[in-house]
Amino acid sequence: MKLAVQLYTLRDDYKTGEEFLKILEKVKEIGFEGVEFAGFGGCEPEVIKAKLDELGLTAVGCHMGVDNFKPETIEETIRIAKVLGMKYVGTGGAPHSTPEEVRELVDIYSYANSVGEKEGIKFYYHNHTEEFELNFDGRLCMDMIADGAYLELDTYWSFCGGADNYSYIKNTADKIILLHIKDGIDRKPTALGEGDNDLLSVFKAAKEVDMEWLVLENDEPVPTGIEDITRSMKYFKENL
């Protein structure tokens, strides 16, 4: 398995495009092999790709709004993905509070994946807690979304939602393409090993299903993003 970091974790560690590119250098120095984007720091995809190639980093995926997956916008979304060399494009969340909203999501993702299949790109959905708490017509919200989307399982929010991560990963392996590795206490994220998520069972399941990438994320890094992911990398090295 290879390790990436969701750059949302580092959003407060840079202000300019130049600083954004420097953050990629720090990510590489800490030991990560890939990055997942949440915005591009004001840089053009071509500039970012040149920096990734210089550093030997892989663009694993990115979070965009689902409006970028619709017929009028998907061509540009796929262009960006191809420039960056990404096989996966996703979103960090979308309206899912009613059966109607979920059905709309399924339609958007079904369309995007029908187009993406021809281009070698898969479109994925990243969960929060509610997708594991809501049920519609006897089905878990997360499972309904998976009717159209591939999944990026955020293993802390699923844990908070009552999921058994080991079982969910094993039983849904055909739909899960990325795992967000996250820890926390009382729904407040922490660096890895500083919370109460059962990360060792997540690692065990990830190995058993041959997951390619584990993506670190912390929504609330302390005291800085770089320092936080450095502590988490130490946990990876000691426990993975």
How does pLDDT run across 154-179, given as a tens digit for each residue? Answer: 999 999 999 999 999 999 999 999 99
pLDDT tens-digit readout, 32-90: 999 999 999 999 999 999 999 999 999 999 999 999 999 999 999 999 999 999 999 99
Three-class DSSP category at 194: coil
Distances (CA, A) of 72 to 43, 111, 112, 226: 23, 12, 11, 37
pTM, two decimal places: 0.96
Give the integer Cα–Cα distance in Å for 164 and 133: 13
Look over the chain and give the mean of its residue pLDDT values, rounded to a whole number: 97
What pLDDT was estimated at residue 22?
Answer: 97
For residue 1, give the nearest of 231, 221, 212, 220 by alpha carbon: 212
Span 81-123, pLDDT tens digits: 999 999 999 999 999 999 999 999 999 999 999 999 999 999 9
d(CA 130, CA 134) in angstroms, rounded, equals 6
Give the number of other Cβ atoms within 10 Å of residue 145's Cβ.
22
Asked if the model's pLDDT at residue 137 lies above 90, the reply is: no
Residue 102: what pLDDT? Answer: 97
The SS3 of residue 44 is: coil
